[in-house]
Amino acid sequence: MTDRRPSVLLRAVGWIAITALVVLGSVELAVWFVMRSAPRAIHHPGILVNQDDDGRFVSNYELFDDPDQSGSQLSLRIRENTNPALVEASINELGDLELSLVPNSYGNARISLRATDPYGLYADTSLNVAVNGKPVVSPHPTEVVVDVGRSEVVLNLREFFSDPDEADSSLYFGIPRFAIWDPFAPPSSAFLFDDYDLDHNSGLLVLRLARGRVGTDTISLRASDSNGADSETTTIKVVVQPISDHAAK
């Protein structure tokens, strides 16, 4: 009696397909079994941006890889945004992730994503987004008045600025001149000062006064944090008055 039960003889094995010969009695039938691979998530270190910076685009090529076809065949979908009050996430017309920062916000968010190929296979990943808060101007004196003959004026710039998400000791201070960022420029255009010293560790700004000179000068100040975010510029007015004016009061 002839055995009519099917038997399968493997011809070739590969990551794309398996070819098999099915024997049913005297009939041989070649069958292809197509094996599809699911997309794979690519490790992404995350995104660090400064408060109020421009948005970011993240290509799906940076997030997923598909062994079967080009990444352009993947369909990207946002599954979760843990902090929509910080960053708005969407998929643009090119199929890439688009991140828009909410103004005046800082903090952290995690964007969970799924990439699906044309055959319904998928992979999941998440992207961490950190928005660094920029330094802010603290309430501070707007004017310092000294008598002529004094040799210097000392300002503690750590009383002028604070950092919402870092230790204030990480701040770097600068003195813009004519609204241009130039931490090495002399702080005065009115020639009340001969020189100055700025210690970033202590935050002390020492303004050396020109001998015998009276008048008013306005100093512009700004702070930056370790991630390069700048504060708004603030000012303080320095008044050097004649002793006679002071005594008359």
Residue 57 one-letter amino acid: F
Mean pLDDT value of segment 241-246: 71
Q: Do 40-132 and 136-248 show the same overall fold? A: yes
Helices assigned H by DSSP within the chain: 243-248
Sign of CA dihedral 224, 225, 228, 230: negative
Name the residue among 18, 119, 111 with its Cα closest to residue 60. Answer: 111
Contact 108, 203 (CB under 8 A): no
- Does 71 or 196 have the greater pLDDT score? 196
Instruction: State residue 6's pLDDT score.
Output: 46
Beta bridge partners of 47: 129
Mean pLDDT value of segment 130-135: 95
Domain residue extents for the chain: 9-36, 40-132, 136-248
Tokens of 79: 């599954």
Instruction: State residue 114's pLDDT score.
Output: 96
User: Residue 247 above 70 pLDDT?
Assistant: no
**If phi over 0 gives left and psi between -120 and 50 gives alpha, with beta otherwise, what is residue 45?**
alpha
Q: How far apart are alpha carbons 232 and 124 in whole angstroms?
A: 40
Superfamily designation of domain 136-248: Immunoglobulins (2.60.40.10)
Residue 150 one-letter amino acid: R
For residue 223, the SS3 value is strand
Does pTM top 0.85 for this prediction? no
Tokens of 168: 């204030």
* pLDDT, tens only, 50-69: 999 998 999 999 999 988 77
* Class for the domain spanning 40-132: mainly beta
Instruction: State residue 194's pLDDT score.
Output: 81
Q: How far apart are alpha carbons 201 and 236 in whole angstroms?
A: 21
User: Residue 7 above 90 pLDDT?
Assistant: no
Instruction: State residue 134's pLDDT score.
Output: 94
Instruction: State residue 70's pLDDT score.
Output: 63
Instruction: State residue 176's pLDDT score.
Output: 62
User: Residue 187 above 50 pLDDT?
Assistant: no
- Does 177 or 130 have the greater pLDDT score? 130
